[in-house]
Amino acid sequence: MKTLVLIDIQNDFLPGGALAVPEGDLIVPVVNRLLPEFDLIVATQDWHPADHGSFAASHPGQAVYSQGELNGLPQTFWPVHCVRNTGGALFAPGLETRRIARVFPKGMDAGIDSYSGLFDNGHRVSTGMGEWLKTAGALELWVAGLATDYCVKFTVLDALREGFGVNVLSQACRGVDLTAGDCARALEEMRAAGAKVIG
């Protein structure tokens, strides 16, 4: 069961979006080209309430892209992005979505962020993705999407911990690189944890 996991390929993460990932749009044709190789395809969608605690705007005086804490966990304060049921939260135009078997929304609890597609950042609540994939017979995952240094990385690390074999499709990922080198370090961290980073 060759399984593809697409992470947060949403308008707000594309150039021109609220939390633009440089070259985020370039992965769309790459992903579309890969789809026929897979038996099972799932996706995540960052799906925040308008007052989500990861937004700088939810904390008066807090600058976007600054670091702080949210309910005891370290938190980067982001621009308002991927508010559920808004255009910014929709999948990228041009992304072939017809074969996506199931979409797992995440980040709905205003009090905690959820970079990983499997658990919130405190590992308190599961999205159900890991269980669902196991029930579907998936053992090995191929991961693509946005952003390499946040949601891709934490999804990969959680999937490894859950016992999946994990391959990172690096040409089908792009990152934020808030600090230069973040993406390279994220790929190295995934590799060190047991993921295979492939073209």
Contacts with ligand VGL by CB under 6 A lie at 8, 13, 46, 78, 115, 146-147, 150-151
What is the number of H-type helices and E-type strands within the chain?
4, 8
Task: Give the contact letters, 46-65, x = binds to Zn ion (CB under 5 A), - = no.
Answer: x-------------------
Residue 55's DSSP bridge partners are: 78
Catalytic entry in 25, 46, 82, 151 = 151
149 makes contact with Zn ion (CB under 5 A)? no
151 assigned to active site? yes
Closer residue to ligand VGL (CB): 79 or 136: 79
Residue 154's binding partner among ligand VGL, Zn ion, none (Cβ under 5 to 8 angstroms by kind) is none
Give one DSSP letter per residue of 36-51, joined into a string: GG-SEEEEEEE-B-TT
134 assigned to active site? no
Q: Which two tokens stand for residue 169?
A: 């499709």
Question: Which residue sits closest to Zn ion, CB atoms considered?
Answer: 46
Of the candidate spans 38-46, 57-65, 154-162, 163-171, the one that interacts with Zn ion by CB under 5 A turns out to be 38-46
120 makes contact with Zn ion (CB under 5 A)? no
183 assigned to active site? no
Give the distance from CA 196 to its chain's centroid: 18
Closer residue to Zn ion (CB): 107 or 130: 107
Helix ranges restricted to H, 63-147: 129-135
> CA angle, corner 123, sides to 182 and 147, nearest 5?
30
- Backbone φ and ψ for 116, nearest 5 degrees, come out as -75, 150
Q: Angle 182-192/153-161 helices, nearest 10 degrees?
A: 10
- Contact residues for Zn ion (CB under 5 A)? 46
Residues annotated catalytic, as ranges: 8, 106, 151
